[in-house]
Structure 1
Amino acid sequence: MTTEQIKAALREFILGRYPDLDLRDDEDIFRLGFVNSLFAMELVMFVESKFQLSIPNEELSLDGFRTVDAMAALVERVSGRDVAAKG
Structure 2
Amino acid sequence: MTDQLATIRAFVTKHTGGLEFTDEQDLFATGHVNSLFAVQIVMFVENTLGVPVVDDDLDIANFSSVARIHHYATSKQAPVGVSGQ
Gaps of 5+ in 1: none
Under a length normalisation based on structure 2, what TM-score does the superposition of the two structures give? 0.85
1:42-63 per-residue CA deviation (whole Å, 9 max, x = no partner) reads: 0100111011121122211010
Gaps of 5+ in 2: none
Percent sequence identity is 26
Q: Which of 60, 69, 80 pairs up with 2:58?
A: 60
1:20 Cα offset (Å): 3.0
The structure with the greater share of residues assigned to helix is 1
The number of equivalent residue pairs is 84
1:8 aligns with 2:6: yes
CA RMSD in angstroms, aligned pairs only = 2.0
Q: Distance in 2 between matches of 1:24 and 1:61?
A: 21
Q: Distance in 2 between matches of 1:85 and 1:33?
A: 41
Under a length normalisation based on structure 1, what TM-score does the superposition of the two structures give? 0.84
